[in-house]
Amino acid sequence: MRRLPGLFLRALRLRCPSCGGGPVFVTWVRMCPSCPSCGINFDREPQGGYWVGSNTINLFVTEAVFAGAFVGTLALTWPTPPWDAMLWGGMVLMLLFPVGFYPWSKTLFLAVDLTFRPREPEDYVQPAEPGPRVRR
Ligand SMILES: [Zn+2]
């Protein structure tokens, strides 16, 4: 439990939650397969479905931001809320926020996963076996 704040702080900085190394993203939406510093595989379930948790985090955070913006706008503008602006602003928010939040949803999910399922030796990239020597 002592490691818990560190995992999430490193995730919020878009670094490897396990070691703090990085960068862990090649582009905004493409993650490295493993950490360049410690070698932990980011996809910890190669049979698939691992990132459903990050999509869930992205959905929940987007909904929370939308609810906060909606209630905040209502509170600030009551009794004449700008319904049209709220409609279009809400649509833009719901389309753009998940894209902007995407990398954090992945690193935060990794932090959650590492909290409940600590690292195992097989989570790390195994060094490649030297192949047979080819003589010419
Ligand atoms: Zn690492």
Ligand 1 centroid–CA 35 distance in Å is: 5
- 101: closest CA among 60, 45, 67? 60
Q: Are 40 and 34 in contact (CB under 8 A)?
A: yes
pTM of the model: 0.85
Q: How far is the CA of 132 from the centre of ligand 1 (A)?
A: 31
Q: What is the pLDDT of residue 131?
A: 62
Per-residue pLDDT 10s for the chain (136 aa) are 557 789 999 999 999 999 999 899 999 999 999 999 999 999 998 788 999 999 999 999 999 999 999 999 999 999 999 999 999 999 999 999 999 999 999 999 999 999 999 898 888 987 666 666 666 5
Where along the chain do its domains lie?
Answer: 4-123
Ligand 1 mean position to 27 CA, how many Å?
A: 18
Check residue 4 and give its pLDDT: 79
C-alpha 26 – ligand 1 centre gap (Å): 15
